[in-house]
């Protein structure tokens, strides 16, 4: 079987080129139909039978979810169903997983989780409620897709069932949030959840309802009418505007080489020898429009939306295609006062549906950065615009350096580097634990939070920013180059496995949520299990699935 994950993957998609999904619209209700092309795998060596999916299927799903939010404000309910008879989805393609390198499996599961979280975010914060109309068997990741929806309907035809068969059949876990969502979201009792996850055939009908695995089961004779009724009920509850015009998510202007990725507002220089990606974000080149109507008029070109789309695409590109670039250096360039002005515009009009979507999208993209297994170092230099929403990048970084003064040999007349806090730093862009990065930075230290709050909006030079705890170090011109060089080279010398574990733990102080459990606890276990011989070895369950041979397990518990 061909090795999977050796070609560069693009995360840009368009409904006119979908191979696996269809969208249909009926007033406030959209239907997202999963009809996976068996011969449409992203890589050779497997067929996507029974609506099983790979990364390519999920890239299209992610694109559809985004477009529904931005291009279709009239849509209040989204029904996800299958275009195939008696099967909803068989989940992630097993032959794809068995043939994939470990890193590919990890990034695939991470992206899939993020897409499911985006569906939940749409239901919770966009007035666009997702209903799963499970018109056949939903196994593994197929059921996990349904679990991401707000309401699950299961056809009751004595054959359809929902199941999480990963443990008994594959020796792995339902790692796209399955274990966590059935307990934390659907409140299935722990003992019942234990039984369910060890029963490969799953449960259907009235028992699936009584165990809270689904919300409703209905016979085929009333199936279509009941879906329409439920969709109408949820649509009636939404505050999403019925008469607003959407904006088109136009194709990104992206140029990609082996050494660089460039967009109109973003550039990444890739240094394979050093294992470093140097990312520079350009601040806005003009003042913001006056109101929400001006934002609508600019559409996808509106700077906060444009930079969020570019950053989102870059994170996915580097995470998937450049796994050996273990350190990302984050820089910004521009006018910090303009960044703060754009932030104020968004916050002043956050009740507008489009403004809300932009803020929520920026939040989700920063969350994607938080869970990316790369070392993040922010460099704050003269000409930087680490202010407000862009200061979130520095707060997301594992370490930040702000130059004290200027580069005397380059531009002694330049204005010194500053950072600035704004309203975006105090709650609108929370991490996966629903706490702002600023509050996580000072976890349990309300006195420090109060001090930095008093300086909101003020440009802070390096010495004050360091004293307030907003940056890690503030070297001067003499020490800058050496300190940064040592930090980057030192990072490259450490074990990337240990770094990933350290960073993931430090980034998420504070309370735990369903989302942090999925990306932390569940993902960590799944990553470990994926790499163990019991699952991935030549006699492991993943390798032997479908061969007629039983897996051979090492019975030691470790």
Distance CA 468, CA 462 (A): 10
Token pair listed for 3: 């090795």
What DSSP line would sit under 22-78, residue for residue? EEEEETTEEEEEE---TT--SSSS---GGGEE-HHHHHHHHHHHHHHHHH-TT--EE
Query: Active site residue: 60, 74, 114, 144, which one?
Result: 144
Backbone φ/ψ region at 388: left (φ over 0), alpha (ψ -120 to 50), beta: left
454 is an active site residue: no
Distance CA 57, CA 184 (A): 27
Task: Quote the strand ranges of 236-345, DSSP E.
Answer: 255-256, 260-263, 266-271, 276-282, 327-333
CB 143 within 8 A of CB 162: yes
Query: Active site residue: 60, 74, 150, 166, which one?
Result: 166
166 is an active site residue: yes
User: What is the signed CA dihedral for 285, 291, 294, 300, rounded to 10 degrees?
Assistant: 70
What DSSP line would sit under 364-426, residue for residue? HHHHHHHTS-SEEEEEE-TT---BGGGHHHHHHSSEEEE-BS--TTT-TTSPPP-BB--GGGG
Q: 13: number of CA atoms within 13 Å, CB side?
A: 21
Q: 81: number of CA atoms within 13 Å, CB side?
A: 23
The residues that are catalytic are 144, 166
């Amino acid at each position: 079987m061909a090795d999977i994950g050796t070609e560069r993957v693009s995360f840009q998609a368009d409904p006119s080129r979908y191979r696996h999904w269809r969208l249909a619209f009926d007033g406030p209700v959209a239907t997202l139909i999963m009809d996976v092309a068996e011969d449409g795998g992203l890589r050779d060596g497997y067929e996507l039978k029974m609506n099983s999916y790979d990364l390519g299927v999920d890239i299209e799903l992610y694109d559809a979810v985004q477009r529904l939010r931005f291009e279709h404000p009239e849509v209040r309910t989204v029904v996800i169903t299958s275009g195939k008879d008696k099967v909803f989805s068989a989940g992630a393609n097993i032959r794809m997983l068995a043939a994939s390198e470990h890193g590919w499996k990890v990034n695939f599961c991470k992206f899939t989780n993020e897409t499911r979280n985006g569906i939940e975010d749409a239901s919770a914060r966009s007035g666009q409620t997702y209903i799963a109309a499970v018109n056949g068997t939903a196994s593994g990741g197929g059921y996990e897709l349904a679990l991401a929806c707000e309401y699950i309907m299961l056809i009751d035809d004595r054959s359809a069932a929902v199941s999480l068969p990963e443990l008994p059949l594959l020796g792995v876990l339902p790692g796209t949030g399955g274990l966590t969502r059935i307990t934390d979201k659907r409140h299935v009792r722990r003992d019942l959840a234990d039984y369910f996850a060890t029963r490969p055939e799953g449960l259907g009908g009235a028992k699936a309802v009584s165990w809270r695995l689904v919300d409703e089961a209905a016979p085929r004779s009333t199936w279509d009418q009941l879906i329409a009724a439920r969709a109408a009920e949820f649509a009636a509850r939404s505050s999403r505007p019925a008469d607003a015009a959407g904006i088109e998510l136009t194709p990104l202007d992206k140029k990609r080489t082996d050494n660089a990725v460039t967009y109109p507002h973003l550039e990444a220089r890739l240094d394979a020898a050093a294992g470093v990606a140097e990312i520079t974000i350009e601040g806005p080149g003009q003042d913001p429009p006056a109101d929400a109507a001006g934002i609508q008029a600019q559409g996808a070109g509106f700077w906060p939306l444009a930079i969020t789309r570019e950053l989102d695409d870059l994170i996915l590109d580097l995470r998937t295609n450049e796994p050996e670039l273990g350190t990302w250096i984050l820089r910004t360039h521009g006018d910090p006062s303009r960044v703060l002005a754009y932030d104020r515009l968004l916050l002043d009009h956050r009740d507008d549906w489009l403004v809300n979507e932009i803020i929520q999208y920026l939040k989700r993209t920063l969350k994607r950065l938080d869970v990316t297994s790369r070392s993040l170092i922010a460099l704050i230099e003269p000409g930087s615009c680490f202010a407000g929403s862009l200061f979130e990048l520095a707060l997301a970084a594992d370490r930040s350096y702000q130059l004290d003064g200027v580069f005397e040999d380059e531009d002694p007349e330049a204005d010194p580097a500053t950072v600035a806090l704004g309203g975006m730093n105090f709650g609108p862009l929370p991490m996966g634990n629903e706490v702002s990065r600023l509050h996580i930075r000072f976890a349990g230290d309300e006195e420090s939070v109060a001090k930095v709050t008093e300086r909101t909006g003020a440009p802070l030079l390096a010495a004050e920013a360091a004293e307030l705890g907003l940056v890690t170090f503030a070297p001067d011109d003499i020490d800058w180059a050496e300190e940064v060089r040592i930090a980057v080279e030192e990072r490259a010398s450490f074990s990337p496995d240990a770094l990933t574990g350290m960073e993931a733990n430090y980034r998420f102080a504070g309370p735990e949520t369903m989302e942090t459990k999925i990306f932390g606890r569940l993902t960590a276990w799944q990553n470990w299990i994926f790499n163990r011989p019991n699952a991935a070895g030549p006699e492991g369950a993943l390798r032997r699935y479908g061969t007629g041979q039983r897996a051979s397990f090492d019975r030691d518990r470790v």
